[in-house]
A and B are shown apart, each in its own frame.
Chain A
Amino acid sequence: AQSVTQLDSQVPVFEEAPVELRCNYSSSVSVYLFWYVQYPNQGLQLLLKYLSGSTLVKGINGFEAEFNKSQTSFHLRKPSVHISDTAEYFCAVSDKPGANNLFFGTGTRLTVIP
């Protein structure tokens, strides 16, 4: 089965600073990668996804991620964070197109400090 590792459980960062949230996945022939965000007391919302094509994926709210097959990574980045970005961020992977079975990482808590 697929798995993902989110190396940082918590990431504090000052407002308007850049941020990178790390995600590594277990290797597979085909892999499909996702980043979801969970704001306090809410459900998850898709930020971006990589299915194929360009390895640099742009998502909502100014986030982007780069698929790196050689390093089996899919790190999430934002050049300048806002207070409203404070949330839990989850990386997820699937290896079976059509089955929708997502395997989530343990999450990274991003706290933006004023």
Chain B
Amino acid sequence: DTAVSQTPKYLVTQMGNDKSIKCEQNLGHDTMYWYKQDSKKFLKIMFSYNNKELIINETVPNRFSPKSPDKAHLNLHINSLELGDSAVYFCASSRAGLDTQYFGPGTRLTVL
């Protein structure tokens, strides 16, 4: 069974649209994350949720909104998509503390 899964794997959309990416983990972890990897492979954290509470928000535009319906899910909703949002988005999860983060396979978002 996949530990951290994301859907969809690929997402192609027009500027101005609203889209969501879903993430689920079956590891029983308390903390989940969203990362953005740009075209130069630079990976930057966007959000972190610990037991459904937001604990990190690294200056991400408010068009991005994470939603955690329960401890096993952390979805990413993006409003009014822009060209610069094109990237690969990774979900990850871990136990609390400096534990290993387990990454999902990524969602490649292309904004036209």
Contacts and interface: CB of A to CB of B under 8 A. Distances in A.
Interface of A: 32, 36, 41-46, 49, 51, 88, 90, 94, 97-104, 106-107, 109
A44 B105 contact: no
Contact of B42 (A41, A100, A104): A104
A101 B43 contact: no
Contacts, number: 62
Contact of B31 (A44, A45, A90, A100): A100
Contacts of A100: 31, 33, 48, 56, 94, 96-99, 101
Interface string B55-89: 11010000000000000000000000000000000
Interface in B10-54: 31, 33, 40-45, 48
Contacts of B97: 97-98, 100
A51 B43 CA distance: 21
Contacts of A32: 98
B41 A98 contact: no
Contacts of A101: 45, 48, 56, 58
Contacts of A41: 105-106
Top 8 A-B residue pairs of the complex, sorted by shortest distance between their CB atoms: A43-B103, A104-B43, A44-B103, A107-B41, A46-B100, A43-B105, A43-B104, A98-B97
